[in-house]
Structure formats: C-alpha cells, structure tokens
Amino acid sequence: MTKKVTLRSGLLLLVCIIAVAGAGCRAGGSNTNAYETHDFAMGTSITQRIYGGNAQQAAREVIDEIKRIEDEMTINKPGGEINKLNNSAGKAEIELSEETIYVLEKAKHFSSLSGGAFDVTIGPLVKAWDILGDNPRVPGDEELESLLRLVDYRDIDINREAGTASLKRPGQIADLGGIAKGYAGDRTVEIYKKHGIKSAFVNLGGNVVALGRKPDGSLWKIGIQDPRSSTGDYVCVIEIEDKAVVTSGDYQRFFEKDGKRYHHIIDPKTGYPANSGLISTTIVSDLSIDADALSTATFVMGLEKGLELIESLEGVDAVFITDDKKVYATENIKKVLTFSGENRGYEYVEER
C-alpha cells in the first residue's frame, strides 16, 4: 500500500494573522511611509512594517536578533544553549545565559499554570513525530507510551540566582518551539523602541506584535485567519494598540497520511496531536512570550478549560475557533472584534 505523506510548512500557511490596513486582508493599504521587509527565520516568514525612526537599521537588527535567538533556542539543529541543556539531561546542571533562564522559567510557569497542557519537556514526542522535519511519521503506540514517560515539566530544575538549569532524567528534551517566537516578538519591540520607533508591526509566522498605533492615530487591525481557508481569508478582525496577538492552529504546520491530518501541537497526555475541538486559538496580551505559551496551552486544553484559564488572567484575552466553526471571544476582546466569517459558515457565539 502506498502511503502519501505531504508536509505543508511553507510560507503561505504561516501568515495566519494578517495586518489589515483598510480593506482586504493584505498587509498593504495605507502604508505609504512604511518601511516593510520580508525575511525567513525561525522556520517561518517574518514581516516587519516600521514607520519613522531608523527603520532600515532597526529591521536589520531585528532579523539578526531573531536568528541569534533561534540559534540559542532551537532543537532542530546542533549548537545553542537548549541543546547544551538537553545533552546534559540526567547528568549535570548547566550554566545558561540570563535570557535562556528567563525563557525556561516562563515555559515552566505556563506548563504549571496549564496543568501540563503546555509542557516544555515535550521534546521527545516532537522529535518522534518530526512534523516540522523532513521525515514526519506516525509513531507506534508503544513508542509513544515510552516517550510520554519522559514528558514532565516538573523535571526541569531552574536556579535563577546561580544561572543554572538541569533536566532530571536521561532522554528528556526541553523544547521551546511553543514559546521562543513569542520571546523574539518581545525582543523585536525592544529594538524598535531603542531606535526611537513609535509605530511598528511585526508578524513572525502568526506571532504578531503591534507597537503603538498606526501613524494616523488609528488602531491596528489584525485579521484572524479562517483556519480552513488556504487563501488567507479571515473570520474576524480585532483592533489593538501596543499588544501581542499570537495564534496557534492545526493548519499552520502539519502532514497528512492516509487522509488524516497530523498537526504540530502535541497533547502531553496522549502523545498525539491535540484533539480538543479547537482548531485555532488566538491570545492577546501585553507580552508576546505569554501569548505564545498560552495559545499553545489553550489549544490543547480545549474551549471550556481554555476560556476558564484566560478569564482568570488579568490583561489577557482570547479568540477561539472550534472544529464545528464557532467563534468565541473573551469579554474585553468582544468590544474590539468585528466578525466577518458568516459567509464561510462560521458562527460568532457572543453569549454562552
């Protein structure tokens, strides 16, 4: 029997949030004075749109910084701090930079806050599925079972004062894939500010950060993509300033085998791609690192638990889309949300 495996991890699908300047869903419109760049790093397409200041230099610095962060935090190629930690699993405590300790602490915090739906030690499963790699495959149940035993965020020990961290057991692998792009988004805004920029927008493959307002004083309009559209249509638009907007979805990276879709967000309870009934989770918050961890976490948790978690957090909001095409939003975001998905069969559930 021939099995067809297709991997869709290209640029197209990763632009899951689109800045809508005026009409349409293009990152275009009234950007006459904008400096706009398109690059590729962290396995995704990166769009920057910067108004004023030293835009060109800032944009270049941002890409260098994102690549540096990728080198330190990826498990997809050798070198870097996280690989150093993983290679010492079960053996030694490792000295790490303040930056890596910060991201690891955030990752552990959100692992705990989500009751392990987000789990920073998901690495062995991510490697086994290889959904982002060249040889994606469906691991057998026995293999998954034995790998699942290695997944437990409580086994990461972090000592901030000493600047060290360790993984308790051999074979354990920390994976920052669900949070590092968010961190890079926060660093991007810091670089913009350092250059005196007051108005800018960056999209790191679905991790959007908007600095300030648009130069004409209006709010940024961020389109939330229809998870089942391949042409970038969106189901709603939210208007924001000085916020991070991060989406996780089953359409961003996946492969298909025997007509079944296997996406990149793994449920640490089952070892399989999460099947919570949510197909897209968008988190709005001040820090992009928080939004990134929470979008992955809530995707695994599902609608009820996800909404409960987000509503318990100050200054954090969410838009969730279910597999039966219903759109839910938390109270604060309802005020700035315009729904437009009815033509594609979506329903906006304003009152639950």
Q: Which residues sit at the interface with ligand AMP, rule CB under 6 A?
A: 118-119, 122, 126, 132, 175, 177-178, 248, 252, 264-266, 268, 292, 295-296, 300
Q: Which residues pair with 328 in a beta bridge?
A: 320
Closest CB to Mg ion among residues 25, 120: 120
By a kind-dependent CB cut-off of 5 to 8 A, residue 228 interacts, out of ligand AMP, Mg ion, none, with none
Q: Does residue 292 touch Mg ion according to CB under 5 A?
A: yes
Query: Within 10 A of 132 (CB to CB), how many other CB atoms are there?
Result: 17
Q: Is 239 in a helix, a strand, or coil? A: strand
Using CB under 5 A, which of 45, 282, 288, 296 touches Mg ion?
A: 296
The token pair that represents 253 in the structure block: 């990276």
By beta carbon distance, the residue nearest ligand AMP is: 177
Residue 219's Cβ-count burial label (10 Å; 0-12, 13-18, 19+) is middle
Q: Which amino acid is at 113?
A: L
Closest CB to ligand AMP among residues 305, 334: 305
Which strands form 234-240's sheet, in the order they lie side by side? 17-19, 220-225, 234-240, 337-339
Closest CB to ligand AMP among residues 86, 248: 248
By a kind-dependent CB cut-off of 5 to 8 A, residue 177 interacts, out of Mg ion, ligand AMP, none, with ligand AMP
Q: Which residues pair with 326 in a beta bridge?
A: 347
C-alpha angle 285-291-157 in degrees, rounded to nearest 5: 125
Nearest approach in angstroms of CB 117 to ligand AMP is 6
Q: Is 325 left (phi over 0), alpha (psi -120 to 50) or beta?
A: left
By a kind-dependent CB cut-off of 5 to 8 A, residue 225 interacts, out of ligand AMP, Mg ion, none, with none
Q: Does residue 177 touch Mg ion according to CB under 5 A?
A: no
Closest CB to ligand AMP among residues 61, 105: 105
Q: Does residue 267 touch Mg ion according to CB under 5 A?
A: no
Cα 341 off chain centre by: 23
Closest CB to ligand AMP among residues 288, 330: 288
Nearest approach in angstroms of CB 57 to ligand AMP is 29
Query: Within 10 A of 145 (CB to CB), how many other CB atoms are there?
Result: 11
Closest CB to ligand AMP among residues 59, 310: 310
- Can you give the binding site for Mg ion, defined by CB under 5 A? 178, 292, 295-296
